[in-house]
Amino acid sequence: MTVAILALQGAFVEHAAMLERLGAAHFEIRQARDLERPFDGLILPGGESTVMRKLLHDLELFEPLRERIADGMPVFGTCAGLILLAKSVDGGVPCFATMDIAVKRNAYGRQLGSFYAEAECKDIGVIPMTFIRAPYIERVSGDAEIMATVDGNIVAARQGNQLVTAFHPELCEDLSIHRSFLEMIEERKRS
Ligand code: GLN
């Protein structure tokens, strides 16, 4: 199994370190040529969703990646990566728009945007959550499912093979979300 990490901007190195610890093969996607390498899952890291959306289009990565995601390839979006997958974005423009979630960018305000919490994540247990100028999910629809909430706000969701968190698991020691994403990939490979 090989996981590709979108590496245009933001916290991609930290995701690579998590995959390294889990012994999963991975490589970075920086340009269209990188898509020639086979991969079974994709991580969209945190960073600045507006910048990533522009670069995805400029580098002609948008359409090929959108097709793979729409086709069911497992994808894990953290923070800005979550925003890239949402069909509705308050305070921004949708990008891949493959997931039935409505998100609010910078939802906690600039001042309160960064904080730490611990909360239950469905099927996983209590995990540490680091938020940095984070969005939250205002609502899920279709078959999108709420995975975690903090103070009444939805901070993680899943729809089919798409998994998103408003927080940054790659900035914590806990490997459980990455591990469950790798299980999603294994499951798809088996089916
Ligand atoms: N506020 C950023 C955005 O809108 C997301 C923040 C993050 O990824 N840490 O893209």
pLDDT digits (tens, 9 = 90+) for 106-148: 998 766 668 999 999 999 999 999 999 999 999 999 999 999 9
User: Atom 8 of ligand 1 has which residue's CA nearest to it?
Assistant: 46
pLDDT at 23: 98
Indicate which atom in ligand 1 lies nearest the CA of residue 49: 10
Which regions in the chain score pLDDT beneath 50?
none
User: Atom 5 of ligand 1 has which residue's CA nearest to it?
Assistant: 80
Q: In a mutational test of the pocket of ligand 1, which residue from 12, 43, 48 has the highest number of ligand atoms less than 8 Å from its CB?
A: 48
Indicate which atom in ligand 1 lies nearest the CA of residue 79: 8
Catalytic residues: 79, 168, 170
Q: Per residue, what are the HEC states of the chain?
A: CEEEEECCCCCHHHHHHHHHHCCCEEEEECCHHHHHCCCCEEEECCCCHHHHHHHHHHCCCHHHHHHHHHCCCCEEEECHHHHHHEEEEECCCCCCCCEEEEEECCCCCCCCCCEEEEEEECCCEEEEEEECCCCEEEEECCCCEEEEEECCEEEEEEECCEEEECCCHHHCCCCHHHHHHHHHHHHHHHC
The CA 35 to ligand 1 mean position distance, Å, reads: 25
The CA 107 to ligand 1 mean position distance, Å, reads: 10
pLDDT at 111: 62
The CA 2 to ligand 1 mean position distance, Å, reads: 26
Residue 22 CB burial class (10 angstroms; 0-12, 13-18, ≥19): middle
pLDDT at 78: 98
Nearest-angstrom CA–CA distance, 101 and 38:
29
pLDDT at 108: 86
pLDDT at 47: 96
Residues with CB under 6 A from ligand 1: 46-49, 79-80, 83, 105-106, 132-133
pLDDT at 112: 61
Nearest-angstrom CA–CA distance, 166 and 178:
14
Mean pLDDT over all residues of the chain?
96
Indicate which atom in ligand 1 lies nearest the CA of residue 52: 10
Indicate which atom in ligand 1 lies nearest the CA of residue 48: 10
